[in-house]
C-alpha cells in the first residue's frame, strides 16, 4: 500500500480479513476496532490511559513468546531468538485467531520493550573497538549505509512505493533490520501494515543472505576476515550476521559482528535526521511532532559511551546482553503478531521489489569496499 492508485483500490475493498471494516481503515491483528490508525500513534499508544490490568495479558503473551523463542534458540545452534520470535508471532497471527483483549499489551510491548532493548544494545558497542577497524573499513560501513539508504529512497520513488514505506525499508535494510524499522517508525507516522511489511521483508531477505553470502564468498575465494567484513557490512539483522559468519568460522565472526555493530551505531544520527526533517517539512497542525532526538536514542548513545568507558565488569555486560536479547525477542514476537500475509499481499509487488533491490545494492557496495580495503 504505498502508492495512490493502490490505496484507492484498497479503500474500495471491504473487510479483507477479520477485524476491519475496510482495508483503508488499517489492518488489525487483534479483532474489531483494535489497533486501527497509525503504528506510532493510536496503535502503539493503545496502552496509554489504560490500567495495568488492560496491558498485562498482551504483555505477558509477548514476554512468554520471547522467552519461548529464546529457549528454542538456546537448544538450536546457529538460530536467532529474534527471528524465531517474529516467526512464532507471525504463525499465530496467520493460523489462529488473536484475542482482541491482547491488543493494548501487545501494542505497548512492541514499542516499550523494543525501545528498552535498543538502549541496551548500545552496551554491545565500544567506540574503541569500532575505531580499531581502521579508516578503510569504517569508510566501507559509512558508504554501505549511506548509499543503500539514499538509493533505496530514490528507488522507492521510481517504483511508486509510498514515502513512509520506503523510509522504513531504507532504514531496515541499510542499518540494523527490525530495530531500525521500529526506530524509524517512532519518528514517522507509518500505518501498521507498513511496519509489518518492512519487518517481514527484513526477515525474508536477511534470512536468504545467511546461506547466500558464505556460498558466494567461497566461490570468490575470499579469506575469512574479508568474508566476515562483507557479511557484517551487508546483512540486515545482527542475529543474521552471527548466523552467516558463524557458519564461516571464528575469525569471520569476530570481524562481522564488529562491522555490523558499527552499522548499528548509525541508527542514532539517521533517526535524529528523520525526526528533524519531519519537523521542518510537516505542515503546522499535522499533529504532535517527534522530538529531534528520541529519548531512547539518547539512551542508546549513553549506553555506547558507558560501554566505551570500560567501567562495567564483564558479568554486568553479559547479563545486560541476555536481558537485551529477551526484551528484543518479546518485542519481535509482538511485531510478528502484526505480520499478516494478506497485508503483505495487499501491499503489492513493489515493496518486495524494493527490498530485493536494496539488498542487492548493499551487498554490491559492501563487496566492492571489501575488495578495496
Per-residue model confidence as pLDDT tens digits over 159-189: 999 999 999 999 999 998 877 887 888 778 7
Contact 209, 236 (CB under 8 A): yes
Contact 333, 29 (CB under 8 A): no
Distance CA 346, CA 348 (A): 5
Confidence of residue 215 (pLDDT cuts 50, 70, 90): very high
Per-residue confidence (pLDDT) for residue 220, from 0 to 100: 94
Distance CA 272, CA 280 (A): 12
Percent of the chain with pLDDT over 90: 31
Per-residue confidence (pLDDT) for residue 34, from 0 to 100: 41
Per-residue confidence (pLDDT) for residue 288, from 0 to 100: 62
| Nearest by Cα to 99 from 37, 48, 28 | 28
Q: Is the pLDDT reported for residue 283 higher than 80?
A: no
Per-residue confidence (pLDDT) for residue 27, from 0 to 100: 36
Mean of pLDDT values over 245-254: 82
Distance CA 202, CA 177 (A): 6
| Nearest by Cα to 363 from 164, 194, 152, 200 | 152
CA distances 231 to 228, 241, 348, 370, Å, are 5, 6, 29, 10
If 0-12 CB within 10 Å is exposed, 13-18 middle and 19+ buried, where does residue 159 land? middle
Per-residue confidence (pLDDT) for residue 291, from 0 to 100: 64
Distance CA 168, CA 180 (A): 8
Per-residue confidence (pLDDT) for residue 33, from 0 to 100: 37
| Nearest by Cα to 256 from 370, 109, 151, 101 | 370
Amino acid at each position: 500500500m504505498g502508492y495512490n492508485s493502490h490505496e484507492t483500490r484498497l479503500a474500495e475493498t471491504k473487510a479483507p480479513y477479520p477485524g476491519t471494516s475496510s482495508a483503508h481503515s488499517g489492518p488489525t491483528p487483534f479483532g474489531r476496532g483494535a489497533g486501527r490508525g497509525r503504528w506510532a500513534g493510536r496503535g502503539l499508544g493503545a496502552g496509554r490511559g489504560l490500567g495495568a490490568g488492560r496491558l498485562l495479558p498482551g504483555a505477558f503473551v509477548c514476554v512468554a513468546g520471547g522467552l519461548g523463542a529464546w529457549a528454542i534458540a538456546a537448544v538450536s545452534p546457529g538460530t536467532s531468538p529474534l527471528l524465531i520470535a517474529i516467526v512464532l508471532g507471525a504463525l499465530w497471527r496467520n493460523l489462529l485467531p488473536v484475542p482482541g483483549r491482547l491488543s493494548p499489551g501487545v501494542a505497548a510491548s512492541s514499542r516499550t520493550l523494543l525501545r528498552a532493548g535498543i538502549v541496551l544494545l548500545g552496551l554491545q558497542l565500544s567506540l574503541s573497538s569500532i575505531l580499531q577497524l581502521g579508516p578503510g573499513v569504517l569508510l566501507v560501513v559509512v558508504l554501505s549505509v549511506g548509499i543503500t539508504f539514499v538509493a533505496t529512497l530514490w528507488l522507492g520513488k521510481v517504483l511508486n512505493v509510498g514515502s513512509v514505506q520506503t523510509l522504513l525499508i531504507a532504514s531496515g535494510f541499510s542499518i540494523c533490520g527490525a530495530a531500525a524499522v521500529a526506530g524509524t517508525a517512532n519518528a514517522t507516522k507509518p500505518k501498521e501494515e507498513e511496519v509489518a511489511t518492512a519487518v517481514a521483508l527484513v526477515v525474508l531477505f536477511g534470512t536468504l543472505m545467511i546461506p547466500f553470502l558464505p556460498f558466494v564468498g567461497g566461490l570468490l575465494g575470499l579469506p575469512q576476515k574479508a568474508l566476515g567484513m562483507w557479511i557484517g557490512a551487508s546483512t540486515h539483522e545482527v542475529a543474521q550476521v552471527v548466523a552467516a559468519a558463524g557458519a564461516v568460522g571464528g575469525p569471520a565472526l569476530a570481524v562481522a559482528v564488529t562491522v555490523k555493530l558499527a552499522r548499528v551505531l548509525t541508527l542514532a544520527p539517521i533517526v535524529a535526521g528523520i525526526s528533524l526533517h519531519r519537523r521542518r517539512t510537516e505542515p503546522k497542525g499535522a499533529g504532535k511532532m517527534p522530538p529531534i532526538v528520541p529519548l531512547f536514542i539518547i539512551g542508546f548513545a549513553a549506553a555506547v559511551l558507558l560501554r566505551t568507558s570500560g567501567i562495567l565488569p564483564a558479568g554486568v555486560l553479559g547479563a545486560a546482553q541476555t536481558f537485551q536479547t529477551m526484551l528484543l525477542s518479546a518485542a519481535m514476537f509482538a511485531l510478528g503478531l502484526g505480520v499478516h500475509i494478506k497485508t503483505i499481499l495487499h501491499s503489492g509487488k513493489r515493496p518486495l521489489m524494493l527490498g530485493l533491490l536494496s539488498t542487492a545494492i548493499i551487498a554490491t557496495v559492501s563487496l566492492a569496499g571489501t575488495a578495496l580495503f
